[in-house]
Amino acid sequence: MTTANHLRIGYFSQDLVDDLILHETAFDHVVAKMVGASRGAVISKLALGGILDDQVSIPVENLSGGQKARLAMLLATLDSPHLLILDKPTNHLDIETTEWLEDFMRTFKGAQLIVSHDRYFLDQVCTRIVEVDNLRAWPWKGNYSQFLKQKEASEAS
């Protein structure tokens, strides 16, 4: 989490799980960020992040890739960022975790900047697309499929 002039920014990438401390538990990771929080509050946060009761005390190295990704996303959003940057978030995720991430992103209250090659994921979570080409940016309303239709129509005109 980065703070600049009171703007809170969360960051999640396919490689963020590499930053997790493998010998610590999911509970340890969240406690470190929620200093002074009760055990119940930490467990509740973990549950919101898709980490279930039987997973909170397992060392991170023993969690599945999907569970690690959920923990990394929880940590990126723990401080309620205004902007969440996702860099190829669905790479290396199983279907269940990708669906969880789609649901999570649809309910996220802040702005999102997503870089992804996963067109289905973009269709599920995006409401605007920004096309960047030749150092210029063009905003489009809608999901990825709608962007393609709008772009095709504008190029045909």
Residues comprising the chain, all counted: 157
Taking a C-beta distance cutoff of 8 angstroms, is the pair 93, 21 a contact?
Answer: no
Tens-digit pLDDT profile for residues 89-107: 998 888 988 998 999 899 8
Contact 146, 128 (CB under 8 A): no
Chain-centroid distance, C-alpha 79: 13
Tell me the Ramachandran region of residue 156: left when phi exceeds 0, alpha when psi lies from -120 to 50, beta otherwise: alpha
| Global confidence as pTM | 0.82
Q: Which of 60, 40, 58 is nearest to 48 (CA)?
A: 40
Q: Is the dihedral of CA 122, 91, 55, 111 positive or negative?
A: negative
CA distance 148 to 114: 17
Which residues, given as ranges, of the chain have pLDDT below 70? 1-4
Mean pLDDT for the chain overall: 89
